[in-house]
Every structure is written in structure tokens, then in C-alpha cells.
Amino acid sequence: MKPVKRNILLKGAAAIAVCTPLPTLAQADDHDHLDDEIIVTGSPISHPEHESIIASSVLTEQELASRGEASIGELLRREPGISSTFFGPAASRPVIRGLSGDRISVLDAGIGAIDVSSVSDDHAVAVEPATAKRIEIVRGAAALYYGSSAAGGVVNVFDGRIPSAVPEGGVDGALRTSIASVDDSVEAAGGGDIYLGKLGTADLVVHVDGFYRKTDDYKIPGFTKSSALRMLEAAAALPGVPEEEIFGVVENSDLVTKGGSFGGSLIFSDGFIGLSSKATRSNYAVPGAEEESVRIDLEQDRFDLMGEYDGGFLIYDTVKIRFGYADYIHQELEGAEIGTTFKNEGYEGRVELSEKQFGNFRGASGFQFKRRDFEATGDEAFTPPNITKQFGVFTVREYEQDNWHLQLSGRYERTDMEAKSVALKRTFDAFSVSGGIGVEPNENIFLGLNILRTERTPAPEELFSDGPHLATNAFEVGNPTLGKEIARGVDATFHTEVGRMSFTVNGFYTDYKDFIALIPNGAENDGLPVFEFVARDATYKGFETEAEAELFALGVFDVTGRAQLDFVRAKFKDGGGDVPRIPPLRSILGLEATSPHLDLRGEVELTADQNSISDFEMPTNGYALVNLSATWRPGGEDHGLSVQLRADNVTNEEARLHTSFLKEVAPLPGRNVKLTLRGVF
């Protein structure tokens, strides 16, 4: 096969534990062999990226630096099959194939974020994109390797704060600073690894990084409220009483975020062991709230252990260990008063053992454990204090011969939950299995098929909630009798590379038994509509496609075209209607011209109307966003200095995400010009 320059959609397997660093374009002398050098460890058994059965993708450090968004959700929103919850610039989680919340796991180097972002869309993820070196995404069920909270997909963020190798030349790192017009933002981030010398037979390497971001309220091209909502409010308004409307800016959307980490490792000839500590502080406004000046003041202190030994012992070839502990707290401020306080103290660990190859057979197994102590007190404590304990074991078996391989995986997981204040306890035993086959009929084609049956344990919020939740403008009622959510599905992938072109398509169909959803029941409590967590059968189906072609050379520029298209449809069975907040059909068309000193890029994001809606939802208009960028490297590819000028939403289009609870009162930002200076050393 002759891969094209960019990493394509097939980038891993069912979930990611640790990865081999990617070479950059500047480091690769032969672009025709770049992708063959990329090995991604998805399941504990690694594969070249073009032999992956499950749809996954990778964002490199260079790609991440060029985007520079304030949240993980917005950073990934333009990836195939991904949208975001967008509760303002600070709080935005990924939506993968229409699934969000507790079904999507955001990991910090293979370990959970240990925050409360899955409890509510207005809660930010305590994983900072500014210091990320690599992000890996799994589309589809990753519950086999990461548990129930990865039933819909995984976003795994690597920031390198625990070094795994000695830096070339003794020191390496990067610094970046940027300013932007749409919110008058200022951002700075940087970090690096330093080799300190020998400690016995080991090499001692330390890592340090930090970041700072400050923004004002962001600008928009029109009214904060959608035209449909303004028409409804105008029809219901009292005669002679004008409705105050806000134009040109989303008020109460500013933020200040800062933090940093320090880590160190002992690097041996056959592995490494390291520790790190990280502190995150964020104070951000919550747009769309009924009360004025609602803010969230967030603090997290985190400690991690990571190690790997690949010297071999007994029947095993490699062992990997991960452990993380975090103490998280955030206070929701209503003016000068504290409305609600959320606390989450927890830890999580995992061990993976990869076996030595025996003939055509390979295998790997592992176990994972975690504990979460959650507490909410105050006006919006809609979920009582609860403790969750979970233990899971997993295994993957693989047979490979010639141009095809067969993979079988399984996981058992036990979860204990206790809501202390209401004396409720639940215990769940969940079993998940999958089987996949991959084949290369010839050197230019890869076909993959994966069949799965997974069981997801209900989240504590789904079981125990009982109170007003102002972020969703609902009185939420849990159901402590809910059972496991069972998914049976199939994922298929096709990838081909012919000459200077590549094409990938992924399709999926999932049938859910007892899919847990938040549904209105028609009643009211405290002036809010009552929404209940109920179990209903549902189906999800859709696809993602991505194509790329090296078109032609124009002087010193190589011109490449890219196109992607994604779609998901989700419906309740038995005439139950559409599942809420499902992203519409979307395509992105891009053209890029690259040279040693200057890269030029333009793209248009086309999103269709969304009229497949559930009760209490409103349709969402489609939009077209035009984005342009130019990156200049004064010293060429071999030097680390670059300057980027980026213009997003050039036409100042009004755009609203159907996946956002705030779509009727907070559109996406308007035209934005951003200048970024980056240095790599």
C-alpha cells in the first residue's frame, strides 16, 4: 500500500492504552511510508493503523496545536462522527455517533478524568487540551477494555507528563501563545522533558508543563435566542410588555483557566516507571442560566503512576500499569453566593499483560478497578451523595494468518453503588463480548467487521436523581430499579488506497434493549417540567466516510483535497419517536497546499437541518461555516518556529448545535481571527 500523508480514519482498535509516538511530517523523510510507521495500541494487541477493525482516529501534536480550542468537545467537533454538547466555550464534552454523557469516556492517558463532567453538560472536563500531545478516539463500544462508561466511545488524551523515553539531545518541548478576536482571548501553554542523568542503571527524565487561558464573553452575528424561540416568546408575551433581547454577544460566557503538572520517570532498557502531579484551576461563566452571573469555580488535584516492562517473563511479553487519584471540587456561584458544591474524590487503576506469541496466536488480558465518592450539596443537588466501586477483568484472543486475522474479546465487570443519604444500594454484574475479522484481499484494500454484545451499568445519576437541574431546565427523577442497558450491534469498515488517493467508510448499527433515556412525563415540579430516566428499546445506525487525494503540485506547493461525511439516526422502538439531541447530516470539504515554509488551508463545514426531533425539542437550522488558515515556518520544516493566522466562520454565519441544551439561547461563536506563535525545541 502507498499511504497518503495524513493519518486517516482507521487509527487503532477497540480502545487505547498507550501508544508509540507519531513522527511528524517534518521528521519523516519518505512520506510514502509515514503511515506504515504508525503503530497504535488499541486493544492490548497492537496493529499497524491500516489493519484496524474498529473505527478510530488520531490527532497529533501538530494538529492539536493548530486548533487550540478551550475544551475537548470543541477541539474534536469537526472529526468524523463527532459533535459536542457545547455548554459555552469552557464546558463541552464530545458526542460520538449521537451518544454522550456517561456513555462516552474521556480518559487521561488511559485513566478516567475523575471529575463530574458526565453528571451535567454545564460541568467542564478536567482534562486540558492546551497541553495535549496526542488524542486518540474510538468510535463505537469500547466497554470491553474501559468499562460501562465507554459503551459509546473513548477519547484518550495523552499529555506526556510521565516521560517514557529519554529526549533526544537531553531536552525537548514546545511553547505556544495565541490571541483571538471573537472573545479577546489570551492563551499560553508550554512544557518539556529534561534528561537529568543516570540514577543507577536508569535514566532520570523530568517533565514540566503549564497553561493559562483568559477570555471575555464571545461575539455572535445575531441574537442570542433563535428566531423560532423569539417567535414563540413573542406570541406568549403580555401586550405592551417588550421582551429584552440580547444581540451580538453571548453574555456570561467568559472564563479563566490555568494549571500545570510535574512528573518524572526512571527509564530502563526494558521499560520505565514514573509519577506525576497535576493541578487544574478554572473559573468560568455558565451562559443561558435564568439567574444572572452564574459561574463555576473548579479545582482538581491529581496524581498518577505509570509504568511498562517489556523484558518478558513467564508467558508474558509486556506488562503495563496505570493508576490515578484525584480530588475534585467545584462550586456553582450565583453572584456572590454559593449555590451548589460538587465534590468527587476517586481513584482508578488498570494492569495489562500481553502474552508472547505462540504460532499464529496472540493474547492479552488485564484488570481494572476504580472508586468514586461523589457528593453534591446546595440548591441544585439533584443527585444524592453516592459511592461507586467497580472491578473488571478483560481478555482478547487473536489468530492471524497471511492477510487476515480473527479477534475475540470479553469482559466481566462488577459495580456496586450506594446512595448514602437515601439508603439505596445496587449491584450489577455486566458481561460484554465481541468478535471481529479483518482481511486484506490485496495490498490496496482492507475490510473489517466487528460484532458485539455489551452490557452497560446505569450511572448513579440515572438511578438516584431527584431534584431540579437548571442546566437542563428540568426536574430530573431517577429510577433506582433500572437494570442493565444491553447493546447488540455490528460495525463494518472498508479502506482502500489507490495511487495518491485513499477512501474510508465506517458503518454501524446498534440495537439497544432497555436504553436509558431522560424523557418528559408531562408533569411539573418547582415550575420545571419533570423528566424521568426510563428504559426503552432503541436503535442507532449511521456511517462516517473520509476521502483524501494528493491532487497536484503548484510550484513549491503540494495540493491535497479532503472530504468527509457523517450521519446518525436514532429512534425509539414501538413508535416511540426520535431520540433527542442527535446530530444532523454533516460534511466537511477541505483543500490544503503545503510547502517547506508555508501551508495554506481552507474548509467549509456544511450541516443540514435537523427535523428528526423528540418531544420538547425544536428543529435546528443547518449552516455553512467557512474556515481559513495560513501557517508560516520562517526556518522551514527543520526548524521549530511557526506562526499561524486562522480565520474561523469567515462569513459570520449563525450556527447552532442540535446536540447542545443551549442551542436556542447560545449559538456558536461568530467570525474569529486567531494568531498563534509556536516554538518547538
Boundaries of every domain in the chain? 18-680
Cell of 406: 480473527
- Pair 46, 39: CB distance under 8 Å: yes
Q: Confidence band (pLDDT; 50, 70, 90) for 528?
A: confident
Question: Furthest-apart CA pair in the chain: how many Å?
Answer: 83
Q: Average pLDDT for residues 482-497, to the nearest whole number? A: 95
**Over pLDDT 90: what percentage of the chain?**
73
Q: Average pLDDT for residues 639-644, to the nearest whole number? A: 93
Listing DSSP states for 579-630 in one string gives PSS----EEEEEEEEE-SSEEEEEEEEEE--B----TT---B--EEEEEEEE
Pairing type for strands 501-525 and 528-554 reads antiparallel
- Residue 20 pLDDT: 33
- Residue 243 pLDDT: 65
- Pair 274, 305: CB distance under 8 Å: yes
- Listed ranges 43-52, 184-193, 401-410, 609-618; the one with the highest mean pLDDT: 184-193
Reported as a single tens digit per residue, the pLDDT across 294-349 is 899 999 999 999 999 999 889 999 999 999 999 999 999 988 889 899 999 999 99
- Residue 24 pLDDT: 31
- Residue 240 pLDDT: 61
User: Does residue 525 or residue 657 have the better pLDDT?
Assistant: 657
- Residue 435 pLDDT: 95
Nearest partner of 469 among 250, 237, 286, 664, judged by Cα: 286
How many CB atoms are located within 10 Å of the residue 416 CB?
A: 15
Q: Confidence band (pLDDT; 50, 70, 90) for 10?
A: very low
Q: Average pLDDT for residues 487-516, to the nearest whole number? A: 95
Reported as a single tens digit per residue, the pLDDT across 53-98 is 888 888 888 888 888 788 999 999 999 999 999 999 999 999 999 9
- Residue 31 pLDDT: 33
Tell me the fold of 18-680: Maltoporin; Chain A (2.40.170)
Q: Average pLDDT for residues 105-114, to the nearest whole number? A: 93
- Residue 59 pLDDT: 86
Reported as a single tens digit per residue, the pLDDT across 33-51 is 334 334 454 567 766 666 6
CA distance 152 to 106: 11
CA distance 346 to 21: 29
CA distance 494 to 142: 20
Predicted TM-score (pTM) above 0.85: yes
- Pair 299, 330: CB distance under 8 Å: yes
Cell of 57: 482516529
Q: 125 exposed, middle or buried (CB, 10 Å; 0-12, 13-18, 19+)?
A: buried
CA distance 50 to 446: 7
CA distance 586 to 588: 7
CA distance 435 to 578: 30
Q: Rounded mean pLDDT of the chain?
A: 89
H helices of 139-226, where? 143-146
Reported as a single tens digit per residue, the pLDDT across 170-205 is 999 999 999 999 999 999 999 999 999 999 999 999
- Residue 15 pLDDT: 31
